[in-house]
Amino acid sequence: MSGPVAPAQQPPPPPPPPHTATETIEPNHTTTTTTRNDRASRDSGIDNSELTPATTAGTPSRDMGSSNSRDWKELKDEAAEPAAADRPSSRDTAQGRRGGGQEGGAGADGDAIELADRSHRQWPFFGHSKGRGGGRGATSNVNVTAVAADGSSAVFYKVYKRRWFGLIQLTLLNVIVSWDWLTFSPVSSQSAEFFNTTETNINWLSTAFLFSFVFITPAVIYVLHEGPKISIITASVLVLAGNWIRYGGVRSSGSGNFGVVMFGQILTGLAQPFVLSAPTRYSDLWFTNRGRVAATALTSLANPFGAALGQLIVPMWVSTPKDIPNMVLYVSIISSVCSIPSFFVPKEPPTPVAPSSETPKTSLRESVRILSTSLEFWLIFVPFSVYVGFFNSVSSLLNQIMGPYGYSDDEAGIGGAMLIVVGLVSSAITSPILDRTKGFLVAIKVAVPVIALSLLAFVWMPETKASGGLAGPYVVLAALGASAFSLVPVAVEMLVEVTHPISPEVTSTLGWGGGQLLGGCFILISDALKDGGPAASPPGNMKRALVFTAAVALAVVPLPLCLGLFGRREHVRLRRVRSDEMMRRHRGAVAGDEAS
């Protein structure tokens, strides 16, 4: 009878990868290995409890830094998509991450959760993307990867709570820069008397503000191409300088120095594109496709909300011309308070939030070539620019449109606020729905005719005060606001989707720039169409300007209605959304919940 058999000698565990400090935590006899970047991420406020997986167990690892990396074509042929029964749910995956060995997580008992620190990543499906740095606790592109015992791995994308700080700051800047635009227009008669000039010259303060956008557009595209933080800081500096220069202008003499005020107004106008064009770039960088429309809507629609505040509050501060300097001072103080936090906005997330966030973007030169020949871009760009232009002109001239019929500055201001507040409420309802349903094309085709018909109806509304009071203009302005504000974030996002992978700031800046250019032109045309003749009834009415507005608005309606027709359905697909879905599908992805 032989002696006892010695147990088989177990091979020693492999050493940890170079430059990766690990620690072992054993809750309930389950081993979890993390790198120092995991601890740094926790210290910096990154919530690793909710991650969006981009690969599941059972899918071959595609770590481009590994010696076992193979061509994407080989992987596509070799690694079929796992059956639904074999894929863990996002809830089970999260349990596996927390427990370190629950079924459906990173693997069975003893599997490891490894946070791999990489200097860069490369997706064969999209090409090369340069690494991301910045952010406390992340000195390079931190890739969150779950590694199972069988060698399979999962890459998880996630969003960061710090994104809300930048979103709120971008929203505040859009509010204040629009308020700067309408500092003098709601009280144009008092402003003209204070500066000893005409209302036409006061209109030039708004017009110069809009034309400044067009002048600085090329620089805005370049700056936003580098990232939204630089753009936000640039806008803050211009807002601070412009507001206090304007205040110096109104205090320089008894009747103010109109030239100095104009210079300050132009500086605030130069600030506007740096924040008005930034929402799509910011949401693309910090949000997934489940939250981009809402994020874009919040920041973009803050701009007209600032205009509403200006139309409501400025007339309350100004009852006589001598109140103008104090009004400008109040606006300057509010602008300063809203601008200073911009310097603390984070540059970018430590890791990409979705596959499309790290998709290499088309160069600026190539983007211009592609856009010039894209029919879908023009079918959206032209009506968007026209309707933004009419919003700018109507907002600037509303008290001059309604004043000749007996409306006070306060009543005209309430009408402008009705236009904007109802629009904001409407957008707050529709944006989350469209974020989920992705019904961008239907929303555009419904909103555009309603906008045009509202502008047509408004031609006859100011003259109804004697018979119907304020109801007529307010109802039409509310309908106009609801339809226009629902359109804005959808159109901006649709421009990004149909032109992907062109960088979002290119189409956004061009769209808003077109609106500002046309807005300035429409103000000049409407002022020229003002009926100031002796036979005018009432004198100074702007009915001819309203007819012009309605005619142009109706003329561009057919353009967006043609989207997707005549065999071009493929050209209006949401390319950025599809890129995320295709990446997850090819990598065996299971969609996880967005972290809060």
pLDDT in tens, 290-300: 777 778 778 77
Determine phi and psi for 158, rounding to 5 degrees.
Answer: -150, 160
CA dihedral in degrees (266, 272, 277, 280; nearest 10)?
170
3-state secondary structure of 83: coil
pLDDT band at 237 (very low <50, low <70, confident <90, very high): very high
Strand order in the sheet with 52-53: 52-53, 153-157, 141-147, 112-118
Q: Which of 125-139, 158-172, 236-250, 342-356 has the highest mean pLDDT?
A: 236-250
State yes or no: pLDDT of 174 exceeds 60.
yes
* Per-residue DSSP letter, 357: G
Measured CA to CA, the distance from residue 168 to residue 171 in angstroms comes to: 5
**Tokens of residue 328, six digits:** 């400008």
Which secondary-structure segment (H or E) carries 213?
A: helix 199-226
Token reading at 273: 């594109």
What are the tens digits of pLDDT across the range 328-351? 999 999 999 999 988 888 887 777
Q: Where are the alpha helices (DSSP H) in 25-160?
A: 36-43, 72-78, 90-99
Contacts of 511 (CB under 8 A, 6+ apart): 380, 381, 384, 385, 388, 491, 492, 495
pLDDT tens, position by position, 519-529: 889 988 998 89
pLDDT reported for residue 556: 94
- For residue 383, the model assigns a pLDDT of 93
Examine the pLDDT at 84 and tell me if it is beyond 70.
Answer: no
Nearest 5°: phi and psi at 399? -70, -30
Residue 551: its pLDDT value, please?
A: 95
- Is the domain defined by 163-350+365-574 classed in CATH 3.10.20.90? no
CB 407 within 8 A of CB 466: no
Query: Comparing C-alpha atoms, which of 330, 343, 348, 563 is closest to residue 441?
Result: 563
**Alpha-helical runs (H) found in 100-198:** 163-181, 188-195
372-391 in b/e form (b: 16+ CB < 10 A) is eebebbebbbbbbbbbbbbb
pLDDT at 255: 79
Short-list 569, 564, 557, CA closest to 390: 557
Tell which residue, 557, 434, 490, 498, has the closest CA to residue 300: 490
CA atoms of 227 and 363, how far apart (whole Å) = 14
Number of Cα atoms under 13 Å in the Cβ half of residue 135 = 27
Residues in the chain: 596
pLDDT at 125 over 80: no
Mean pLDDT of 476-496: 88
Supply the pLDDT for residue 85.
38
Question: What is the C-alpha separation between 144 and 30, in angstroms, rounded?
Answer: 20
Kindly report, residue by residue over 388-442, the tens digit of the pLDDT.
Answer: 999 888 888 888 898 888 888 788 888 888 888 898 888 888 888 887 888 889 9
Tokens of 40: 């740094």
For residue 451, pLDDT beyond 90: yes
Residue 89 and residue 53 in contact, taking contact as beta carbons nearer than 8 Å: no
| Amino acid at residue number 544 | R
Tokens found for residue 463: 């003259």
351: phi then psi, degrees, rounded to nearest 5: -130, 155
Tokens of 428: 């707050």
Question: Position of tokens 């459906």?
Answer: 104
| Percentage of the chain exceeding pLDDT 90 | 20
469-476 CB contacts, 8 Å cutoff, 24+ apart: 470/407, 470/411, 470/414, 470/415, 473/402, 473/415, 474/414, 474/415, 474/418
Q: What pTM does this model have?
A: 0.63
pLDDT bucket at 548, cuts 50 / 70 / 90 = very high
Domain ranges of the chain: 23-81+88-158, 163-350+365-574
